[in-house]
Structure 1
Amino acid sequence: MLELLTNPDAWVALLTLTALEIVLGIDNIVFIAILASRLPVEQQPLAYRLGLLGAMFTRIALLLTINWVMRLTDPIFEVMEHPFSGRDLILLGGGLFLIAKSTQEIYEKVEGEHQQDIKGWFSGLPGIVGQIMVLDIIFSLDSVITAVGMAEHIEVMVTAVVIAIVVMLVFATQIGDFINKYPSMKILALSFLLLIGVLLTAEGLGQHINKGYIYFAMAFALLVELLNIRFRAKQQAA
């Protein structure tokens, strides 16, 4: 461990991996914010904390069982000569879940209809946190595989995950409040999740899509919407 503290390569890997973990965790924060908005205001900060802490423990657990995680890329069966691995099935299931969830949320926002009849555990804090934990596994899988490819030491990987989660915990509530404050931003966030769902589904089916293009499109759409919000605020003030 002391050798790592004096190893420049380890510090570079830590900083790079921490930044990457934060970027890869943004979609997780957006999903948590969307689900947490269904809870009473006083329960939302707790949902953020439980969701992100769940993501941290999930990623650390996957890192500590890295040999099993890497075996998830081995083919399990074939369909029409296309091999499917455990990773493919997880990404496919998570992608379809995100598509269904995002589509449902967008429909409810646009049509103004809410499923008030769904009550109890599933729509309460335990149910919301449960849904967050399921998606944590999906989002964590690629993050962990990326971490393994970028760093050699498990200590560096775990430290990067912990630092990234702490940073996200600091800003999660502000991001959630911002998304909930502007209805158009909430629709945009849901559209991002829908796009990520399509991306995960495509990867689960073996179709690689460069994530750089996706993140650039998201950043551009976000910039346009921020300009629209600024423009509308100036119009209302005039």
Structure 2
Amino acid sequence: MTDAIITLGMLVLLQAVLGFDNLLYISLMSKRAPAEDQKRVRTLGIAIAVFLRIALLFILVKLIDYFQESWFAIDIEGVFVGHYNLHSLIVLLGGAFILYTSVKEIFHMMNLDEHEGEDRTAQSAGRVIFTIVIMNLVFSFDSILSAMALSDSVPIMATAIIIGGVLMIWLADHVSTFLQKNRLYEVLGLFILFVVGIMLLTEGGHLAHMEIAGQSITPMNKMTFYFVISVLVLCDVVQSRYQRKLMAQTDGAGN
């Protein structure tokens, strides 16, 4: 019993650590829905994703070899090599989509127009929920495979997923509220998503044993990811404080 509780605690912690990028994505994506639907979008999107994640857990337990089985290969000697399975394709497509989304949103912010911003909030709640659910499944692979390495008990892993989902629903509301009150941090969030996209692309490339010009794709490990995120956050905090100080000095000089 004690071992089961310890394992459950480790799995919940694992869900929390690996779920940071997913949480940020959900918080940013939910802002595309109408304001009155955003909380419902986050809650329903995460709830559906948790249900599907549990289903994915059962599928992976039974069909793990199928996900690792090579589907096709591209071999242009000295130029490009890749051996793709279902797992690598899902991760690569997810990374590409997140990269596209973050770049598109960054360019939108650079060319922000008040009326355009109002139009963009009119996306249907259903469409946003669908996007959240799909991307949640992409993020799920790492956490589920890591959980399977720690435990062979499906009930314990499923319980950890449910607890992680409840925590994510609670945290998503807080993160979204913070971003709503501190709009400038949305830029930071988008650049973090950009890094997440790069991380997924390198991971997918590694899973596919990709080589470009004879160079193997090396996945970005989590420590590197969190270090980069820490640097981005630190730079943003320093920049914000420095900007406020300059504005205060300018106002003082004007008076």
The TM-score, its normalising length taken from structure 2, stands at: 0.81
CA distance in 2, matches of 1:201, 1:47: 27
**2:198 alignment partner in structure 1:** 198
Distance (Å, rounded) in 1 between the aligned partners of 2:174 and 2:48: 19
Structural RMSD (CA): 2.4
Q: Which of 23, 28, 33 is the equivalent residue of 1:34?
A: 28
Greater Cα offset, 146-155 or 208-217: 208-217
Q: CA deviation at 1:209?
A: 2.0
Aligned mates of 2:118, 2:93 — CA distance in 1: 26
Structure 2 stretches of 5 or more lacking a match? 76-80, 207-216
SS in 2 for 1:188: helix
Structure 1 residues 117, 64: CA separation in 2 closer, same or farther (over 3 Å shift)? same
Confirm or deny: 8 A CA contact 1:18 1:161 kept in the other structure.
Answer: yes
Q: What is the aligned partner in structure 1 of residue 71 from structure 2?
A: 76
Please report how far the alpha carbon of residue 40 of structure 1 lies from its aligned counterpart in structure 2 after TM superposition: 2.2
Query: What is aligned with 2:44?
Result: 50
Q: Which amino acid aligns with 2:38?
A: Q
**In 2, are the aligned partners of 1:55 and 1:140 still within 8 Å (CA)?**
no
Aligned to 1:162: 162
State the Cα distance separating 1:227 from its structure 2 match. 5.2
- Report the CA distance between 1:70 and its aligned residue: 4.6
> Following TM superposition, by how much is the alpha carbon of 1:222 offset from its aligned partner in structure 2, in angstroms?
2.2
Q: Is the partner of 2:161 in helix, strand or coil?
A: helix
Q: Deviations over 1:186-223 (max 9, x none)?
A: 01111111111111112212232212111122133224
The answer to whether the 8 Å contact 1:54/1:136 transfers is no
Q: CA deviation at 1:162?
A: 0.8
More displaced 10-residue stretch of structure 1: 224-233 or 175-184: 224-233
Distance 1:155 1:230, change over 3 A: farther
Measure the CA separation in 2 of the matches of 1:115 and 1:223. 28
Deviates more, 1:222-231 or 1:76-85: 222-231
Residue range with higher mean Cα deviation, 214-223 or 150-159:
214-223
Conserved in 2, the CA contact under 8 Å of 1:99 and 1:194? yes
**Structure 1, unaligned stretches of length 5 or more?**
1-5
Provide the C-alpha distance between the structure 1 equivalents of 2:242 and 2:151, rounded to a whole number of angstroms.
44
Report how many residues are paired: 230
Partner of 1:217, secondary structure, is helix
Aligned-pair identity (%): 28
Does the 8 A contact of 1:30 with 1:189 survive in 2?
Answer: yes
For the Cα contact (< 8 Å) 2:147–2:157, is it kept in 1?
yes
* 1:27 maps to amino acid: D
Residues 167-194 of structure 1 show CA distances to partners (whole Å, capped at 9, x for unaligned) of: 1212211101112322331011111111
Aligned with 1:205: secondary structure? helix
Against the structure 1 CA distance between its residues 233 and 171, is the aligned structure 2 distance closer, same or farther, given a 3 Å change threshold? Answer: farther
TM-score, length basis structure 1: 0.87
Q: Which residue identity is paired with 1:77? A: F
For the residues of structure 2 that align with 1:232 and 1:212, how far apart are their CA atoms? 30
After superposition, what is the alpha-carbon deviation per residue over 1:85-114, rounded to whole angstroms, capped at 9, x for unaligned? 110100111111111111111111121144
